[in-house]
Structure 1
């Protein structure tokens, strides 16, 4: 049976392969099967390959090249990435890929990656191998032994178009100019280590590169070299055709010297190149779209030409900790993502663009920026209405925001003395049209009041306010809010009762001990969420991450008592309820409200609440469900927010979320908390429609605990 599984696995469900192998193995003994399987692993079945090649032979030359590049180099890579590289090679890629998909030679995954059957990849490999017995005369090289051979014996010829060399497992390797001297048509070069993580980032293979090392760049489109060991590139390194340049963790101190022609260069990534001291002259790389300098900890000088890259879409300089100055960036009008997080010595941005219509992410956390007088768009939305409509993320973590004058915003380190802190932070004008902002991070600031018109940010989904220890009140928040973390806001006293939360989400008020109106506010929020909950916005959105876990609307705040509107409560971590036959009426039952009081222990680090729901129906059938308080990045937030005393967890789970519609006779809720917290008490409350309600005020039609025998029609609840 094991051999059969191995043969089936080799065929991967391909009908042709199963048919051919079945004919070969029929009436044979186990030893024959074992021998055949070993041969297949070394040498693919010729009959299968011959039939598969019928489809390949019917392709146009352009499509054959695309197929072979994918089989040898780009299987599993993103379609957009591959398209860009292969188009730069002169291939007609869009129609070519579509034809390959139509002929079932390649497939497209859900996340838009190019895949193919193992046997089809083997066919591609065999086609390349059969072009020559000598590896140095083949168009594509991907096997370690073949590449090692041609580098050792310097047999690479002009037929070589691509090399993808995995250094993992090699102890020593020589790179000489002579070994590459005949490869005049090289267009794809990647040198990497597949076991990078397993080796702790230490180079296992010792590379010997001659001082005069160079290779042919004229036809080069794609260059990726992990941990490039030299301090500089070859002196004549220049390529009009190069599109993609990637040398992460390199030993480079600079890229190229002087002006070099890189007319088609679109992507540069030298992240974590800790010896890099300055950027090159980009004045002849005017098509550059992506520049990644993340983790270049010794970078001190940025060439002024960077500020004139008008097509630049992404600029990532995260954790360039020695960078003190940026040149004028006034011409970076195409920027969508601008990351300066962790540039702790950077104090100023000067001459920024007056119009940045595409900016969607701006990260300035961890910088020393104190002056934004040149950036009027961040300081005065009234004068520049609409210029930042595409801004979807503003991160000013660990900074102090204050209004300096009508056209500037000042950011300072959050350790500023209380006397210098602002009385009010007003950075959104009454005419703000920041309609695309979805993420706002003000964590660690000395802000006292949020802007009164924060509710104008109609697309805002996530609000981070952690460690805003001077924040006293929350104004009316946008109804679009899904997640908010206000933990450790120790001065927070009030949450506007006019804020209406209609969406799935989580709201953290850990260690906010001055909150006064939390119990009544949260009761109102449960009513609001219950009346607006619909399957499409709750269950479907998160099922792909947690198909077996119900994730409710959930909130946490200081307290040691289950809210008084919970009629069913119990000491300890469990509550058992025997329900009457009519408790569940389809037309008016909405869901459950759950609550638990948790207490930290001496070794408490953080927490995450879980609830196991066990049910029995009238026929004694049982079922179980797990309800989790938060998920994904929120779990990480909780790990950073240990609670200091008793806290109340309150959640709402709609009836359509993972629960069957059988009539239950008995329900048991079991609560538990991770991270060293214990559950002291717990409660459960069914939520129903009650009577009729005015249109638009759905929460007035919500009742806790009592079912109605003559329920209102479902149409009285408006799902929005």
Structure 2
């Protein structure tokens, strides 16, 4: 099968896309394939090998027209909208049959039924089935005599019974790899599945009344995917698991689940773990047996402290912990005491590979920073939105690799006393206690990085921005074949009435009359500093001489009434705009950029040359001599400070 699919891909007849290997096919090819099968038996659908038309399938089932020719049935009733004021729902289409239609389909391999209802349960199911997917399967058990030896995929979404009876069936399912009970509103228990040793995927996503999962689920040697997301009443999960092949574990939305299972042995294949909105309060020490875990996302859980075991994760590079359910204040002192109880040494913590750490709304205090510097010295991205600390201390200078720092919505932050040496992206929106004076240390440091730079914060345009203009636009001239975007910093300052996070700006650059809009829009505070690295000008041919550039921006304001952004007059929000040249970019950059019109300067030089030629005997003309000296001095000063 893999070979045949590969041939189809090479011939561009199908495409394989996405994480779940979605197959895409052109409509014309699909229609051609369907027409080929329709022509084999135009009037008798029961004599075709593939059935997909609702009308044809219902006809076969209700009139018992099934034959051994049928190999695939895909029945999906269309969606309808019942009433204008109600949510979209499926129309209750009922198939009126006697349940015996599958008896003669001895070669049926794939049976997929979505939507609709059946007047009675099936009395026969073919043992030839490889794939069985039946939404709202109408019986608690399978028919007597159904013992499929090659069944690989069994999906029973929206199952209509509290407990599936798998005992009689599971003994013969030696090839089953996928078992699915997603979206069941009645299912309360996952029974013993210890006989399903070949199972690779077990999913019961969105089973809102599921309470218990049998302990055998935690000991399936080939299980790769275990998905229990959005099981709100799930409280009894296997207390210990040993799943050496596990790659994906889903526990998000399990509000009643308080304990994470003990991991008995190393499970190195789980690289990403998402837990959002659970009742889990802490992670056990055995959590470190997830030795391959690199991404951990925990949001709105009931944890009241940062789990100490995270410092022992050998491969953890991205950790996101967002508060929301916890009300207890988490201080650096509290976490430090817990770590001392655990016996974790500082030198061991310093070996952490963590690069991205998100601790949103976690009520962190000032004591967090000294510990974070010691624990996670290799951080590159630190997101601390919505916390309680009051200063950014001097010690954050020890974050040698940190380039992205976000402290939005930290309402108690008053002062910035330190800055990481390679900080290139900083955001301090809606920090109500942070004054322009509190950001002065950061703004007084002229950046020397070669990276993309973006600062959003309260403050004033730094003094080292030599070129400034009142209003919302500023212009300059440059020469050369490349736009010097990576060598220019731009600062936008809003009026005092608009230093809030409801203003969205889109930078605009006009080069020789042609407009270039940035691809990104961003919310800004009182001050927005950025460079022009991301501007793409490949479609423009520059002139041989000097090119004229105008930098401006569009502004939109968020309306809480309509929850939309609306255009605002730029004059009402613009106070000042500035440009700074990063001199270290290249040695000739100062000669290739001018902030006064070079053509006007050329005219001035020509006038001075003519005056010198017409009146060469300036010694006898003291007035002319002083005038020419003044003109040359003016030219010199203009070129020097341009």
TM-score by length of 1: 0.64
1:254 matched to 2:163? The reply is yes
Name 1:187's counterpart in structure 2. 109
Which residue in the other structure is 2:360 paired with? 443
Which residue of 529, 545, 553 maps to 1:670?
553
CA distance 1:467–1:224, shift in 2 (3 Å): farther
Gaps of 5+ in 1: 1-92, 194-204, 379-383, 534-552, 631-637, 692-700, 712-720
Structure 1 position 233, deviation (Å): 4.3
Structure 2 counterpart of 1:75? none
Counterpart CA distance in 1 for 2:292 and 2:162 is 39
What displacement does 1:446 show?
3.2
Paired residue secondary structure (2:276): coil
CA distance in 1, matches of 2:432, 2:149: 59
Who is 1:165 aligned against?
75
- With 303-312 and 473-482 compared, the bigger mean Cα shift is at 473-482
Alignment correspondent of 1:72: none
* CA distance in structure 2 between the partners assigned to 1:702 and 1:670 by the alignment: 27
Any conservation in 1 of the 2:240–2:264 contact (CA below 8 Å)?
A: yes
Contact kept? 1:592, 1:655, Cα under 8 Å: no
| Residue equivalent to 2:474 | 577
Asked if structure 2 preserves the Cα contact closer than 8 Å seen for 1:597 and 1:647, the reply is yes
CA distance in 2, matches of 1:333, 1:564: 59
CA distance in 2 between counterparts of 1:218 and 1:526 reads 71
Residue 462 of structure 1, CA deviation: 5.5
Aligned to 1:466: 385
1:98 counterpart = 2:6: yes
Residue 593 in 1 paired to residue 484 in 2?
A: no
* Native 8 Å contact 2:273 2:296 kept in 1: yes
Aligned to 1:545: none
What's 1:452 paired with?
372
Q: Match of 1:13?
A: none
Equivalent residue, structure 2, for 1:556: 456
Instruction: Find the counterpart in structure 2 of residue 290 from structure 1.
Output: 201
State the shift of 1:667 in Å.
0.7
Q: What is the Cα deviation at residue 168 of structure 1?
A: 0.9
Q: Residue 324 of structure 1 is aligned with which of 218, 232, 235?
A: 235
Change (3 A) 1:357 1:106: closer
Aligned CA-pair RMSD: 4.3
Q: Report how far residue 305 of structure 1 moved.
A: 0.7
Q: Using the alignment, how far apart are the partners of 2:431 and 2:508 within structure 1?
A: 28
Residue by residue over 1:328-373, the C-alpha shift from the partner in whole angstroms, topping out at 9 and shown as x without a partner, is 333023333323222222111242234232222223332222343x
Whether the 8 Å CA contact 1:395–1:440 is kept in 2: the answer is no
Match of 1:654 in 2: 533
Shift of 1:306: 0.7
Secondary structure, aligned partner of 1:675 = strand
The 2-side partners of 1:454 and 1:156 are apart by 71
- 1:386-401 aligned within 5 A: 388-398=291-301, 399-401=303-305
2:504 maps to 609
Pick aligned residue for 2:268 from 346, 357, 364: 357
User: CA distance change for structure 1 residues 276 and 113 in 2, over 3 Å: closer, same or farther?
Assistant: closer
Q: What's the offset of the Cα at 1:562?
A: 3.7
Match of 2:192 among 257, 278, 281: 281
Residue number in structure 2 paired with 1:532: 451
Partner of 1:153: 63
Distance verdict in 2 for CA 1:128–1:580, change over 3 Å? closer
User: How many angstroms apart in 2 are the aligned matches of 1:601 and 1:332?
Assistant: 55
Whichever of the two has the greater Rg, that structure is: 2
Superposed CA deviations along residues 389-441 of structure 1, whole A, max 9, x for unmatched, are 442224254432246799999999753344x8562536796435987756544
Deviation at 1:142, TM superposition (A): 1.0
Equivalence for 1:626: 518
Please tell me whether the aligned partners of residues 127 and 148 of structure 2 are also in contact (alpha carbons under 8 angstroms). yes
Deviation of residue 127 (structure 1)?
Answer: 2.8
Gaps of 5+ in 2: 80-90, 314-320, 560-564, 594-642
